[in-house]
Structure 1
Amino acid sequence: MIQLWRLESLSATYDQALFLQELWSTSQGRLFESSLSSVLSGAVTSDGALPSVNYLHLGQHANFLTLAISPLVVVMGRWALPFAQVSVLTASGLVLWRIASRCLDADLAFRITVAYFFSGAILGPAIENFHDLIWIPLLGFLVVEGLMERHRWQVLLSAVLLLLVREDSGLVLFSLGLWALIRRPSERYWGVALMLGALGWVLIVTGWIQPAVDSSLADRFLAEKFGHLVEDPSRGTVALMLAMLREPLAVLQALVSPPGATLGFVLALTLPLLFIPLLSVDALLLVSAPLFVALVSQGRTALAVTLRYVLALVPGLYLGAVLWWQAHPLAWHQRQVRMVWTGAVTLGLVLTIVGNPHRSFSAVIPDSFVPWIHVSPRTMLHRREAALKAVAKVPAEASVAADTPLLPLLAQREALIRFPNSVRFKDREGVVRSVDYVVAFSGYYTPLAPVFKRERRVQIKIRAQVQELLAKGDYKLIHCEGGAFVLRRVQDRVPDQKTTPGISSHCDALA
């Protein structure tokens, strides 16, 4: 229900639209294509190039497995993504329950499963924009279950699928193999095979497949995450790993810096499990590689507990807890332990909801307490109505530039770019074109602009860009209602001829 409300209230934003466009293009036979992904490429963000309609998202993330959802997009449209997102994460919890119930008492297995569903590490990624990491808990659980039950085909199939999630999912598989090597003597050969397979896949994808498509991985993503550790991350993954080995003190400093945020991150992740993973050698091995990357990375997303990146840690944390309880069964029978655990799960859930991750609970949780900023559900529905009226003015095949809240409503088309970044793009032949329509929702930001700098800057930029387009005569205002407006490109305009802004002087969205 929360995901449905996010779509209806315009809370779903850029990544939701990006993946919808990529999967829609894939369903049309154009694998990985996304003009919205092109907007985020290194060439556009760093070098000022124009986005292109035939850009391949593969250059940024090798999300082969996610393309399997594309037939659902044909059947369900934009609703396919939240359906798949919630379904896969729910299935992961059921597999966790199956594993735990085989190792532990039914009540304890149930408690671990409840902790999974109520944790911020699952609830946050379940209610944010669609992402390609939803598969990691499910496949990670299946790999370890296969190793524990000695189901060879399950291990092999789940491991292959796990590698196809994304280029960095090999880190998860590497940790699972390391655990099998050290903690499961009967499966040590499988552990070595998983580690070698994971390492080889990561090197092949990041060193050959992705650079052959686009340089964004090296130019943008490695620089954003590891630019503080190496002078030139653009040299690639292998060079980055070697540079880290040469600078152990810098890596060690990055692991614990900033100390407060690092400690808070670890405690928040383990709170729903009563901090048991901190005592578990199995958990430490199972999360070793992805936790290392999370701690040494820089940027605001590195230590965020409710963002999708923490899903790489979920298999290790929860299976590590299961194995610890299996080795310490008497601890569960202490009444105080059960009471404290209930309080820990409840506290974690309350903190997650009050934190309003991804503004998914903004209908009931204010966006700001001091000063008080709260957009009521009625206002959200009014904004939805205004947005749908504006989007209805755009033909299905038209090229569009739209600002962020409107992108998921327009993503099932070939040419869609972010406004106000640009109104120009490259078509399949490389010819520079201007979009047919511009759709923006300046009024969406009005309740938030007085407090939040980002929303204020976006609103100001949208209004300035639209006034410039109208003043040049390149576009004509054809719709303005409820803070949303639509511009249509003027066809065959005589050079240097100015068009009258028309109703723009009476449009509250441009005030």
Structure 2
Amino acid sequence: MLFKLTQKQGLQWIIISAIAFLAITLGLTLHRHFTFYSSYDQGIFNQVFWNGTQGNFFQSTLSSQLSTNVVHSGEVPKVNYHRLGQHFTPALLLWLPIYYIFPYPATLTVLQAIFITAAGLVLYALGRIYLEPAIAFLIAVSFYCANAVLGPSLANFHDISQIPLFIFSLLWAMEKRYWWLFGLLGIGTLAIREDSGITLFGVGVYLIASRRYPKIGLVVCSFSFLYIVALTNLIMPLFSDDVAKRFMLERFGQYAEGESASTLEIIWGMVSNPLRLAVELVTPVFDTIKYLLGQWLPLAFIPAVAPASWAIASFPLLKLFSGQGESVLVISLRYAMNVTPGIFYGAILWWAGQGFGNFNRQVADCQPRTLRPQFRRFWVFCMCLSLIFTITSNPSRTLYFLIPDSIQPWVYIPAPEQWQRVPQIRSLLNKIPSDASVSATTYLIPHVSSRREVIRLPALELENDAGNTISVDYIIADLWQLERYRAAFKLDRLRLESMTNLIEDVTSRNLYGVIGFNNGVILLQKGVDSDLKAIALWQNYLESINY
């Protein structure tokens, strides 16, 4: 018996699935945030939005702390640093009115869940253009089950979360021949991020290769390429040197020489040394294959034989596979979302009957494929397997209360234990004035980022609006978390040692006084004497962790 759904049933089931996805992802990510597991990027975007409501658009001391001027030249972070030099993201202005009404870090978490949920609904509408409700429904549910979608959905807010919604909507407009909407969404896609034009370029290649709309495809490819080149070589350098001196070298430095490289120099390095590029594309071999299988898994590996998937997704894949660093091949990280639109749209066209043998035929003239019960069961199995892989990977530690961070040695923090700490941390955060400058540990950054002057420990200095270098007014550090994780993670062990040495140094020199201590969380204020009870608690704690 074949799996059938009426049009009404298909719409009902996809709405139910979307609500379930929204409820689960929103519940988990809000739980992550309010139990102090959202981290640095959440703080960066929140500060960018908060500064936007104050008229200081795209400025961030937290982004400045990651800039080449700070990382490589040893300068102090600046409050008027424009993040557009690192990532060009004007599309964020679309959501600024919402943040203005609800000016909280958690608002960004809600927005991200809505973006991705809405993308699944648009994907269903896109599938229904050619497919019966049952197959369109399974494709949309596969999107919600994909590790490359669910993993980044459970992370900090990130600009790439807008990509699936914009690209699926653009493809839907193309299928409906709403060219004015197609153009607006194309411009909107480019505004999401400086590299989002790579995914749009893939759409243009598909339109040319399939001969559906070759002239429009040529315009899309040309405009996307020229936009990326002009943006990264002419516009972004007006704000900072981060593209040439940091991001290009960190990700693609193997194709360049010297201490800086433009995108054109990187492209030339790839073209002039094809052997090196070929090696980079396939190595490490096992991780590359595993990444592709992870992208294909929720769709039962159909994208592997779908020509449209290869046409569109090849270009964001090329960017990932040609880069260096461990993060590029982690499917649960945000970069994977650049690949998913092409993967899923190609699956739609494959089920509509398009294959390598008839790639140049109009999709409407192809014979749709039939979903057999055996394959449907295999497809559902693949979706479940994708969910299992996502859960066990514990993306962004969102499932810390379910999945241990380490088995040997055992590192696990139950939800009740972490929730007991929430009021303890809040009691110290509430002592910090809203207009004071702050330096905080990573997981406290989002909760103090709605201010002009905030940086991450161990940094203590920044440049204010007057151009003066100042020391922050307050220091707040969650040492308990570092203490719990140090047994299994060397970096946390080193950070704990660094933080305790820093606190001992600034208090011994009377630069800061300890004004609050509660269960491993310490609060210091500049230029005051330490509270006797708080300093005693700190000394006892210090002795207990230095055993």
Q: TM bucket by the smaller chain?
A: over 0.9
Please name the residue that 2:482 is paired with: 445
Cα distance in 2 for residues equivalent to 1:13 and 1:391: 16
Contact 1:172-1:290 within 8 A present in 2 as well: yes
Contact 2:152-2:395 within 8 A present in 1 as well: no
Q: Counterpart of 1:372 in 2: which secondary structure?
A: coil
Please say if 1:294 is aligned against 2:320: yes
Residue 336 of structure 1: which of 360, 369, 374 is its match? 374
Contact 2:352-2:369 within 8 A present in 1 as well: no
Instruction: For residue 504 of structure 1, report the CA deviation from its aligned partner.
Output: 2.6
Alignment of 1:9-88 (within 5 A): 9-76=35-102, 77-88=104-115
- After superposition, give the CA deviation of every residue in 1:100-146 in whole Å (9 maximum; x if it has no partner): 01211111111101100011111111110000111111111122222
- After superposition, give the CA deviation of every residue in 1:79-109 in whole Å (9 maximum; x if it has no partner): 2101110001111111000010121111111
Residue 291 of structure 2: which of 239, 258, 265 is its match? 265
Q: Counterpart of 1:302 in 2: which secondary structure?
A: helix
Alignment of 1:336-375 (within 5 A): 336-375=374-413
CA spacing shift, 1:296–1:302, aligned 2, 3 Å: same
Alignment of 1:138-153 (within 5 A): 138-153=165-180
Contact 1:63-1:166 within 8 A present in 2 as well: yes
Residue 249 of structure 2: which of 220, 223, 232 is its match? 223
Q: Counterpart of 2:326 in 1: which secondary structure?
A: coil
Please name the residue that 1:211 is paired with: 237
Instruction: For residue 386 of structure 1, report the CA deviation from its aligned partner.
Output: 2.0
Cα distance in 2 for residues equivalent to 1:86 and 1:64: 20
- After superposition, give the CA deviation of every residue in 1:245-300 in whole Å (9 maximum; x if it has no partner): 10000000000000000000000111001111110111000112111001111111
Cα distance in 1 for residues equivalent to 2:222 and 2:137: 35
CA spacing shift, 1:262–1:314, aligned 2, 3 Å: same
Given residue 392 of structure 1, which amino acid in structure 2 is its aligned partner? N
Cα distance in 1 for residues equivalent to 2:204 and 2:262: 24
Number of residue pairs the alignment of both structures matches: 502
Cα distance in 2 for residues equivalent to 1:84 and 1:476: 39
Instruction: For residue 150 of structure 1, report the CA deviation from its aligned partner.
Output: 1.4
Alignment gaps of 5+ in structure 2: 1-26, 355-366
Please name the residue that 1:506 is paired with: 537
CA spacing shift, 1:233–1:98, aligned 2, 3 Å: farther
Please name the residue that 1:387 is paired with: 425
Please name the residue that 1:429 is paired with: 466
Q: Counterpart of 1:204 in 2: which secondary structure?
A: helix
Please name the residue that 2:19 is paired with: none
Cα distance in 1 for residues equivalent to 2:113 and 2:184: 22
Please name the residue that 1:325 is paired with: 351
Q: Counterpart of 1:278 in 2: which secondary structure?
A: helix
CA spacing shift, 1:501–1:457, aligned 2, 3 Å: farther
Contact 1:227-1:233 within 8 A present in 2 as well: no
Alignment of 1:87-166 (within 5 A): 87-166=114-193
Contact 1:179-1:286 within 8 A present in 2 as well: yes
Given residue 324 of structure 2, which amino acid in structure 1 is its aligned partner? Q
Cα distance in 1 for residues equivalent to 2:350 and 2:258: 42
- After superposition, give the CA deviation of every residue in 1:325-356 in whole Å (9 maximum; x if it has no partner): 11166754322111111111101101110110
Give the TM-score of the pair, scaled to structure 1: 0.96
Q: Counterpart of 1:301 in 2: which secondary structure?
A: helix
Cα distance in 1 for residues equivalent to 2:466 and 2:80: 9
Please say if 1:254 is aligned against 2:280: yes
Given residue 456 of structure 2, which amino acid in structure 1 is its aligned partner? R
Please name the residue that 1:463 is paired with: 500
Cα distance in 2 for residues equivalent to 1:74 and 1:333: 47
Instruction: For residue 72 of structure 1, report the CA deviation from its aligned partner.
Output: 2.2
CA spacing shift, 1:126–1:233, aligned 2, 3 Å: farther
Instruction: For residue 509 of structure 1, report the CA deviation from its aligned partner.
Output: 4.7
Cα distance in 2 for residues equivalent to 1:390 and 1:417: 17
Alignment gaps of 5+ in structure 1: 492-498
Given residue 88 of structure 2, which amino acid in structure 1 is its aligned partner? A
Q: Counterpart of 1:398 in 2: which secondary structure?
A: coil
Q: Counterpart of 2:428 in 1: which secondary structure?
A: helix
Q: Which moved more, 1:362-371 or 1:212-221?
A: 362-371
Please name the residue that 1:495 is paired with: none
Q: Counterpart of 1:134 in 2: which secondary structure?
A: helix
Q: Counterpart of 1:17 in 2: which secondary structure?
A: helix
- After superposition, give the CA deviation of every residue in 1:161-193 in whole Å (9 maximum; x if it has no partner): 0000000011011110110111143x1111011
Cα distance in 2 for residues equivalent to 1:334 and 1:132: 38
Cα distance in 1 for residues equivalent to 2:320 and 2:295: 12
Instruction: For residue 510 of structure 1, report the CA deviation from its aligned partner.
Output: 3.6
Q: Counterpart of 2:476 in 1: which secondary structure?
A: strand
Q: Counterpart of 2:514 in 1: which secondary structure?
A: strand
Please name the residue that 2:414 is paired with: 376
Cα distance in 1 for residues equivalent to 2:95 and 2:247: 25
Given residue 504 of structure 1, which amino acid in structure 2 is its aligned partner? I
Please name the residue that 1:494 is paired with: none
Please say if 1:476 is aligned against 2:513: yes
- After superposition, give the CA deviation of every residue in 1:341-393 in whole Å (9 maximum; x if it has no partner): 11111011011101101100111111112332210111111222221111111
Cα distance in 2 for residues equivalent to 1:184 and 1:384: 58
Cα distance in 1 for residues equivalent to 2:521 and 2:452: 23
Q: Counterpart of 1:21 in 2: which secondary structure?
A: helix
Instruction: For residue 449 of structure 1, report the CA deviation from its aligned partner.
Output: 1.1
Cα distance in 1 for residues equivalent to 2:222 and 2:169: 19
Give the TM-score of the pair, scaled to structure 2: 0.90
Given residue 146 of structure 2, which amino acid in structure 1 is its aligned partner? S
- After superposition, give the CA deviation of every residue in 1:379-411 in whole Å (9 maximum; x if it has no partner): 111222221111111000000001111111101
Instruction: For residue 460 of structure 1, report the CA deviation from its aligned partner.
Output: 1.2
CA spacing shift, 1:324–1:471, aligned 2, 3 Å: same
Identical positions, percent: 31
Cα distance in 1 for residues equivalent to 2:352 and 2:110: 34
Cα distance in 1 for residues equivalent to 2:244 and 2:69: 11
CA spacing shift, 1:90–1:184, aligned 2, 3 Å: farther
